[in-house]
Amino acid sequence: MDLTLKIWRQASASEKGKFVEYQVQNISTDASFLEMLDVLNEELVRKDEDPVAFDHDCREGICGACSLYINGRPHGPDKGITTCQMHMRRFKDGETIVIEPWRAKPFPVIKDLMVDRTAFDEIIQAGGYVSINTGGVPDANAIPIPKRDADTAMDAAACIGCGACVAACKNASAMLFVSAKVSQFAMLPQGKVEARERVLNMVAKMDELGFGNCTNTYACEAECPKEISVSHIARMNREYLSAKLVSQKE
Amino acid sequence: MAKLDAKIPQGPLAEKWTNYKAHQNLVNPSNKRRLDIIVVGTGLAGASAAASFGEMGFNVKVFGIHDSPRRAHSIAAQGGINAAKNYPNDGDSVYRLFYDTIKGGDYRAREANVYRLAEVSNNIIDQCVAQGVPFAREYGGLLDNRSFGGAQVSRTFYARGQTGQQLLLGAYSALSKEIKKGSVKMFTRREMLELVVIEGRARGIIVRNLITGEIERHSAHAVVLATGGYGNVFFLSTNAMASNGSAAWKVYKKGAFFGNPAFTQIHPTCIPVHGDYQSKLTLMSESLRNDGRIWVPMYKEDAEKIQKGQLKPTDIPEDRRDYYLERRYPAFGNLVPRDVASRAAKERCDAGFGVGSTGLAVYLDFEDAIKRLGKHVIEARYGNLFQMYEKIVDENPYETPMMIYPAVHYTMGGIWVDYELQTTIPGLFAAGEANFSDHGANRLGASALMQGLSDGYFVLPYTIQNYLADQIRVPRFDTNLPEFEQAEKEAKERIEKLLSIKGTDTVDTFHRRLGLIMWDHVGMGRNRKGLEEGIKKIQELRKEFWKNVRVPGKNEMVNMELEKALRLADYLELGELMARDALLREESCGGHFREEHQTEEGEALRDDENFTYVSAWEYTGDDKEPKLNKEPLVFEFIEVKQRNYK
């Protein structure tokens, strides 16, 4: 198939970006979206032009590196997958495809389609862990955990930290990302010990870094490649509220 | 030869590690604060080691090539992690996990290391549960297990098909905790270009900032390499795009020996190759072999019709199917180890019974399992894998069998390390897939995660202290020392040379060509003539690369073509060493199959008399042949037998 690509090019964070149009020919419908971009980049290199920079690594939907905004949607038109899992059979011959980076203030553009998502790491550093050291822990089966709770924790833990939720949200809110971590630990006895500090610290960090608020549009859930449910946001709000009340009392 | 001391502690096998820990040197808390450790890599081994060092009180600097430590390729491991918990009460024990791992590795791993691995496996599960890793559980609330290839017990813990992700996120959370505390400093988007050696000891690294191109110098009292494997030398593999062997190769050229470079794991269940634009291969978890049955048509005429698209797999009746693994290996059936399953698939396809349009695929069929257990059970077990398959291949595996074929997945070979995971350069340690140590000639499924976390959480925190104990009076190193200057100069010259060639072919063009040479000559079946030809072809390609590669742009920018070129330059040398090692090893063992050495039934034929050793290669100069050192493997506690999965 032959395609027209309109790609966001931006030399660096400080420079102004613009859309540039490219043509690609003879793309196999079995190729993945990123393989199509590989073909374009090889051609650009041959023509002595600057190849398009984009983040990618595992190319099987789990590392969370790829982050393209395709035809106005994070990770493209399909539900429940990342950009790297999308195949060209999803597009029509002759189609024009618009490719942009994540657009959110806390994710500044580094170059072209690459953005800086350090903010997510900072939120995790604010409390996305259980404060135990290596060694000296009880036997793994010492505390039985109801299967349903473990499964819910796993549903939340499936988050790959790609940032599609932020990119999809008109407020650039990170609530789905943060709530997935808060919820995972809230469901497990191991996480309960520090639950209060965790939710307060992570939410404070999220606000501090400039992520917006949640106005319940559910765009995050709709675009999440791991289909993480907004019910985790509801759980986080409950956790937050009760933590806030208790901390005020104290 | 005297250099190769594995430092295996005295005493009976089961007491070696305990004895070591009882007698090793320690560093007291106030001295720990004065000692710096560099960790390169943030996968399971790197993240767990760095977090543990930080908790202990050392100053740690961690380097990763990704934008976040959470993206390291450990994240992609699907199936699970082994441990000898014996929760299912099916006869497992530390000894049995040790035995299965040694046997699975075809008696080419070090007994003492493997026993220690089995011994600490249980601590890993405890640790991860305490971190909040949501392992699969049964209705009673206790942990669930499943079985994996090469074992007759169920000892594999898992978190759906995302075990690697959950374990890595556990290690990442521990790392994040230490970063917050200030004991660990994280450097993202940095790639190691050189090791700095001062007076014979590893004292620092040179890295390139992948955003600005700046070349940075970092010093420390010890350096840990946890940089993963080198499977991408084949171009197409299940490794992530940025996974590379360059850090390992750089330390080899600075004096660390390279152990068993030929030992590559070809994983039996991957989605087959489909086009020349393809950038990587996708693994379908080995856990699928628990319920899926592998077959090809029994008759060639059926296979040919399937290849032409005239017949569908569902048109082939039961009595015209060849479940070749169940036929050849009734005791283990579809759960034979990976090397055995891969070779059996290749054998059938080479004989003309393969399926798919290329004839290079076999079926993995869930029809019986769906009938026996119901679709919902299969969906709960493998739902995400089935979805992944459907996305890539555009076929529904609930209705038609999956097509699979072997692909490069893991490298058992790596930097040679002793019992302390220290390389032949004092102060340089290697952990996880980057070292050669525990899997012999073939790794069992769900053992990579075990080894990465064992090295990082439970081995290095002890052994590195034994090294650092006599370093407490050594002051921090100034990065203006001539050794840093020299290492930086070497790195910069290499970059400038690559940028100045301005040839006609892209890096990927060369990489694809190298991959084909490796697959044809140093792949699943190897022989003398093919290997000798392969070495010549790699040498020629290397020359051509340095004359004709095109790397656009400059160093001072995001330049992914330059990153790839630097990595490929190393692969073009490493590939040759792999071929040399394969040529030297005149036997078949595990994933290393020399066609000249097989039984009448086509099984791998070892030569224990002549090859019960680790080949540890020593760099002697760019245009000189590397020197072979041998570490004899002594089996004191296990009887060396022909592997038998029948």
Cβ proximity of B366 and B292 under 8 Å: yes
- Cβ contact B244:B72 at 8 Å: no
Contacts of B506 in chain A (CB under 8 A): 42, 45-46
- Identity of the residue in A42, A48, A147 whose CB atom sits nearest the CB atom of B137: A147
Mean pLDDT for A64-88 is 96
CB contact under 8 Å between A138 and B130, yes or no, is yes
**C-alpha distance from A218 to closest chain B C-alpha (Å):** 23
Q: Is the pLDDT of residue B502 over 90?
A: yes
Query: Distance (Å, rounded) from C-alpha A168 to C-alpha B611?
Result: 58
Chain A positions in Cβ-Cβ contact with residue B558 (cut-off 8 Å): 53, 110-111, 114
User: What percentage of chain B reaches a pLDDT higher than 70?
Assistant: 100
Nearest to B567 by CA among B215, B241, B279, B257: B241
Nearest Cβ partner for A145 among B52, B141, B159: B141
Instruction: Tell me whether residue B614 is exposed, middle or buried, using C-beta atoms within 10 angstroms of its C-beta: 0 to 12, 13 to 18, 19 or more.
Output: buried
Q: How confident is the model at residue B162, as a pLDDT?
A: 92
Which residues 56-115 of B have a C-beta within 8 angstroms of A? 66-71, 73, 75-76, 85, 87
Please report the pLDDT score of residue B367 as a whole number. Answer: 96
Quote the CA–CA distance of B559 and A50 in Å, as a whole number.
9
Residue B293, pLDDT score: 97
Window 38-77 of A, Cβ < 8 Å to B: 38-39, 42, 45-46, 48-51, 53, 55-65
- For residue range B32-53, list pLDDT tens digits in order: 999 999 999 999 999 999 999 9
- Judge whether residue B580 has pLDDT over 60: yes
Q: Does residue B402 surpass a pLDDT of 80?
A: yes
CB within 8 Å: A65 and B67: yes
Mean pLDDT of A128-132: 98
Cβ atoms < 10 Å from Cβ of B28: 10
- Amino acid identity, residue A111? K
Alpha carbons A142 and A156: distance in angstroms, whole number: 23
Tokens 């394969």 sit on residue: B582
Task: Please tell me which of the candidates B133, B164, B457 has its beta carbon nearest to residue A134.
Answer: B457
Torsion of CA B380, B381, B384, B386, to 10 degrees: -100
- HEC letters along B184-236: EEEECCEEEEEEEEECCEEEEEEEEECCCCCEEEEECCEEEECCCCCHHHHCC
- Answer whether B75 sits within 8 Å of A63, measured CB to CB: yes
Predicted pLDDT of residue B150: 83
- Would you say B438 and B113 are in contact if contact means Cβ atoms under 8 Å apart? yes
How confident is the model over A56-74, as a mean pLDDT? Answer: 97
Mean pLDDT of chain B: 96
Provide the pLDDT for residue B387: 86
Residue in the structure block whose two tokens are 């984009």: A54
Asked if the model's pLDDT at residue B3 lies above 80, the reply is: no
Percent of chain B residues past pLDDT 90, beyond the cut: 92
- Among the options B70, B338, B580, B606, which is catalytic? B338
Starting from the edge strand earliest in sequence, which strands make up the sheet with B627-632, in order? B414-415, B258-259, B613-618, B627-632
Whether chain A has a CB inside 8 Å of the CB on B11: the answer is no
Residues of B in contact with A55 (CB under 8 A): 67
Is 70 exceeded by the pLDDT of residue B459?
A: yes
> What domains appear along chain A, each with residue ranges and CATH number?
3-111 (3.10.20.30), 118-249 (1.10.1060.10)
B71: closest chain A residue by CA: A63
Closest Cα in chain B, distance from residue A185 (Å): 7
CA–CA separation, B499 and B492 (whole Å) = 11
The residue-averaged pLDDT of B624-632 equals: 96
- 3-state DSSP assignment of residue B180: helix
Report helix, strand or coil for B535.
helix
B282 touches chain A (CB under 8 A): yes
| Residue B1 confidence (pLDDT) | 42
C-alpha gyration radius of chain B:
24
CA angle A38, A88, B558 (to 5 degrees): 25
Do B258 and B575 meet the contact criterion of CB atoms below 8 Å apart? Answer: no
Dig out the tokens for B518 from the structure: 């490796």
Cβ–Cβ under 8 Å, residues B227 and B397: no
Which residue among B162, B176, B278 sits closest to A121, beta carbon to beta carbon?
B176
First-last CA distance in chain B: 39
Q: Are B434 and B229 in contact (CB under 8 A)?
A: yes
Res B231 pLDDT > 80: yes
pLDDT at A215 exceeding the cut of 90: yes
**Cα–Cα distance for residue pair B134/A167, rounded to 1 Å:** 27
Burial B95-105 (b: 16+ CB within 10 A, else e): bbbbbbbbbbb
Using DSSP, state whether B137 is helix, strand or coil.
strand
- By CB neighbour count within 10 A (0-12 exposed, 13-18 middle, 19+ buried), where does B379 fall? middle
Q: H helices within chain A, ranges in order?
A: 33-46, 118-125, 147-157, 164-168, 175-186, 189-192, 195-208, 219-223, 231-249
8 Å CB contact of A118 and B68: yes
Tokens representing B260 are: 């068993």
The answer to whether B484 and B206 have CB atoms below 8 angstroms apart is yes
In 10 A of CB B505, how many CB atoms? Answer: 17
Residue type, B235: F
CB contact under 8 A, B509 and A139: no
pLDDT of residue B596: 97
Quickly tell me which residue has 């171009």 as its tokens.
B235
Span A6-23, average pLDDT: 96
Which of B590, B585, B608, B568 is closest to B645 using CA atoms? Answer: B590
SS (H, E, C) B75-133: HHCCCCEECCCCCCCCCCCHHHHHHHHHHHCCCCCCHHHHHHHHHHHHHHHHHHHHHCC
Is residue B338 part of the annotated active site? The answer reads: yes
Q: pLDDT tens digits for B181-226?
A: 999 999 999 999 999 999 999 999 999 999 999 999 999 999 999 9
Is the CB of A49 less than 8 angstroms away from the CB of B140?
A: no
Per-residue pLDDT for A186 more than 90? yes
**H/E element, A18:** strand A18-24
A229 and A158 in contact (C-beta within 8 Å)? no
Packing angle, helices A231-249 and A175-186, rounded to 10: 70
Whether the pTM exceeds 0.95: the reply is yes
Q: Is B511 on the interface with A (CB under 8 A)?
A: no
Only one residue has tokens 């206790």, namely B142
Q: How many CA atoms lie within 13 A of B342 on its CB side?
A: 28
In the structure encoding, which two tokens stand for residue B54, read together? 């930080």
Q: Which residue of A has its CA nearest to B170?
A: A129
* Contacts of the segment A35-40: beta carbons below 8 A, 24+ positions apart: A35/B277, A35/B278, A35/B279, A36/A3, A36/A88, A38/B277, A38/B279, A38/B508, A39/B277, A40/A5
Q: Can you tell me the distance from the alpha carbon of B140 to that of B135, in angstroms, rounded to the nearest whole number?
A: 14
Q: Is the pLDDT of residue A250 over 80?
A: no
Residue range B285-335, pLDDT digits in tens: 888 998 999 999 999 999 999 999 999 999 999 999 999 999 999 999 999
Which B residues, 613 through 642, put their C-beta within 8 Å of a C-beta on chain A? none
Q: How high is the pLDDT of residue B625? A: 95
Domains of chain B: 267-408 (3.90.700.10), 498-605 (1.20.58.100)
Neighbouring-strand partners of residue B430:
B225
Test mutation, A32, A36, A122, A134, chain B, max B CBs within 10 A: A134
**CB B391 to CB A85 under 8 A?**
yes
Q: Is B549 on the interface with A (CB under 8 A)?
A: no
Instruction: Kindly tell me the burial class for residue B600, based on how many C-beta atoms sit within 10 Å of its own C-beta (0-12, 13-18, 19 or more).
Output: exposed
| Interface size, chain A vs chain B, as Cβ–Cβ contacts under 8 Å | 213
Tokens of B487: 């290492």
pLDDT, mean of residues B106-118? 97
Answer left, alpha or beta for residue B582, where phi above 0 means left and psi between -120 and 50 means alpha. Answer: alpha
Q: Which residue has the tokens 């000898």?
A: B84
How are beta strands B154-157 and B81-82 bridged, if at all? antiparallel
- The mean per-residue pLDDT over the stretch B257-278 comes to 93
Q: Is the pLDDT of residue B24 over 90?
A: yes
CB-based contact B61:B187 (threshold 8 Å): yes
CA distance B446 to A89: 34
Give pLDDT, residue B623.
83
Q: What is the pLDDT of residue B285?
A: 84
Nearest alpha carbon to residue A99 among A228, A212, A10, A1: A10
Residue B646 is predicted with a pLDDT of 83
Model confidence at B391: pLDDT above 70: yes
Q: Does A125 touch chain B (CB under 8 A)?
A: yes
